[in-house]
């Protein structure tokens, strides 16, 4: 009887360690794509944004993305603040005032929201205003974009991640490795891969109307045309800039936009961890002294 129950007990424990045979990742349709993880200046414990990269990334956003996408949660002043691109204040003020999409000003004192020609009343944007996209609302955007909605980009890096479903023992190892490295850049990696993975549709793949082929996108058909051109990259002020530079820099810029306090948080984290480690050692020594009086633990 005892042996039987021991067997049952051992069986119940070992079943848990059995492989989930056949639990292979179910592809979301479309061909398999191997995401290339990038090395970012803001990854890891010491990671901080590179302000020059953020400045270049903003230039890419301005020239390639801003025509369709706004950044509602990023204020112009954020571009000046520490931990961000740190553009000169005057330059940002000027840029905000000249930005093609200005905040609404109506209704005015007469209760009007539009001028005599029917144009909505606007005012000049200040540092306190958000970076606006070209569309006032979802309906206007969809009407202009053939039914598609270009999402706001201020949180896009946090709202996306590389979704992989590995077999369970790989899954556990991957989680441990991510914790060990402090890996938080899944969104930036996703965006980098998405922007670089535009290609011509392979023969035999039937594209839906108004869709573009992308190797990294689930199902391979994406509504957004390639925003950055391989053979016509945006050139930076220093005269350099390849397609790959554009993709990397705009991904970094959008990562900052989604998490603008990262520099401060990680820098503070070091002091906190140091304090905790030292205090923990001291507490351990204190506990040992106290318990040495009586023996045991």
Partner 1 sequence: MSGPSSYVPKSNLSKWFDERLPVARLMHDSFVAFPTPRNLNYMWTFGGILMVCLVLQIVTGVVLAMHYTASVATAFDSVQHIRRDVNYGWLIQPLHAVGASFFFVAVYLHIFRGLYYGSYKAPREVLWILGVFILFAMMATAFLGYTLPWGQMSFWGATVITNLFSAIPVFGESIVMWLWGGFSVDNATLNRFFSLHYLLPFVIFGIVILHVWALHVVGQNNPTGLDIKQPSDSVPMHPYAITKDVFALFVFLIPFAYFVFFMPDWLGHADNYNPANPLVTPPHIVPEWYFLPFYAILRAVPDKLMGVLAMVGAIAVLAFAPWLDWSRVRSCKYRPIMKWCFWGFVATCLALGYLGAMPAEEPYIMWARIFTVLYFSYFLVAMPLVGLIETPSQMPRSITDAVLGGGKAGSGGGGQYPAGATAAPEKR
Shortest distance, position 28 Cβ to partner 1, whole Å: 7
What does the angle CA 95 – CA 98 – CA 102 come to, to the nearest 5 degrees?
110
Is residue 89 within 8 Å of residue 268, measured between CB atoms?
no
Q: Tell whether residue 203 is a contact of partner 1 (CB under 8 A).
A: no
User: How many residues would you count in the chain?
Assistant: 297
State how far the Cα of 201 lies from the Cα of 129, in Å rounded to an integer: 41
Tell me the per-residue interface mask from 5 to 44 with partner 1, x by CB under 8 A, - otherwise.
xx--xx-xx-xxx--xxxx--x-x----------------
Shortest distance, position 126 Cβ to partner 1, whole Å: 16
Q: Which is nearer to partner 1, 143 or 168 (CB)?
A: 168
- Smallest CA-to-CA distance from 30 within 208, 161, 243 is with 208
State how far the Cα of 188 lies from the Cα of 184, in Å rounded to an integer: 9
What does the angle CA 8 – CA 9 – CA 15 come to, to the nearest 5 degrees?
85
Q: Which is nearer to partner 1, 15 or 203 (CB)?
A: 15
Residue that is written with structure tokens 């369970």 in the block: 168
Q: Which is nearer to partner 1, 59 or 184 (CB)?
A: 184
Shortest distance, position 156 Cβ to partner 1, whole Å: 8
Q: Tell whether residue 45 is a contact of partner 1 (CB under 8 A).
A: yes
| Assigned token pair, 294 | 């009586």
| Assigned token pair, 45 | 């414990």
Q: Tell whether residue 258 is a contact of partner 1 (CB under 8 A).
A: yes
Shortest distance, position 222 Cβ to partner 1, whole Å: 15
Task: Write out the binding residues for partner 1, residues 173-192 only, by CB under 8 A.
Answer: 178-179, 182-184, 186-187
Shortest distance, position 213 Cβ to partner 1, whole Å: 20
Among residues 37, 142, 171, 243, which is the contact residue for partner 1, using CB under 8 A? 171
> What are the percentages of helix, strand and coil residues in the chain, rounded to 5?
40, 5, 50
Query: Per residue in 32-62, is it b (16+ CB within 10 Å) or e — as a string?
Result: ebebeebebbbbeeebebbbebbbbbbbbbb
- Smallest CA-to-CA distance from 251 within 165, 178, 157 is with 157
Q: Which is nearer to partner 1, 189 or 245 (CB)?
A: 189
Q: Point out which span in 49-57, 168-176, 197-205, 244-252 binds partner 1 (CB under 8 A).
A: 168-176
Residues that bind partner 1 (CB under 8 A): 1-2, 5-6, 9-10, 12-13, 15-17, 20-23, 26, 28, 45, 73, 78, 151, 154-155, 158-161, 163, 165, 168, 171-172, 178-179, 182-184, 186-187, 258, 260-261, 264-266, 268-269, 272-273, 276-277, 279-280, 283-284, 286-287, 290-291, 294-297
């Amino acid at each position: 009887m005892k042996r039987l129950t021991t067997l049952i007990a051992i069986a119940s424990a070992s079943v848990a360690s059995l492989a989930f045979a056949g639990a292979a990742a179910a592809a979301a349709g479309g061909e398999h794509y191997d995401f290339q993880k990038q090395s970012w200046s803001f990854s890891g414990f010491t990671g901080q944004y590179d302000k020059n990269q953020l400045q270049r990334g903003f230039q890419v956003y301005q020239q390639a993305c801003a025509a369709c996408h706004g950044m509602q949660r990023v204020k112009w002043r954020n571009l000046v603040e520490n931990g961000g691109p740190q553009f000169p204040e005057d330059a940002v003020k000027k840029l905000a005032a000249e930005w093609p999409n200005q905040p609404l000003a109506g209704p005015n004192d007469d209760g009007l929201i539009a001028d005599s020609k029917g144009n909505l009343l606007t005012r000049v944007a200040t540092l306190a205003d958000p970076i606006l996209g070209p569309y006032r609302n979802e309906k206007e955007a969809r009407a202009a974009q053939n039914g598609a909605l270009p999402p706001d980009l201020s949180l896009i890096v946090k709202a996306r991640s590389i979704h992989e479903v590995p077999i369970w023992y790989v899954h556990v190892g991957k989680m441990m490795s991510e914790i060990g490295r402090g890996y938080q850049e899944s969104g930036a990696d996703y965006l980098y891969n998405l922007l670089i993975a535009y290609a011509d549709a392979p023969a035999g793949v039937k594209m839906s109307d108004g869709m573009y082929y992308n190797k990294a996108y689930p199902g391979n058909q994406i509504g957004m045309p390639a925003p950055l051109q391989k053979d016509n990259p945006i050139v930076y002020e220093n005269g350099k800039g390849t397609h790959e530079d554009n993709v990397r820099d705009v991904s970094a810029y959008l990562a900052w936009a989604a998490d603008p306090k990262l520099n401060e948080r990680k820098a503070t984290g070091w002091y906190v961890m140091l304090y905790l480690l030292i205090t923990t050692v001291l507490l351990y020594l204190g506990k040992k002294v106290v318990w040495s009086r009586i023996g045991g633990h």
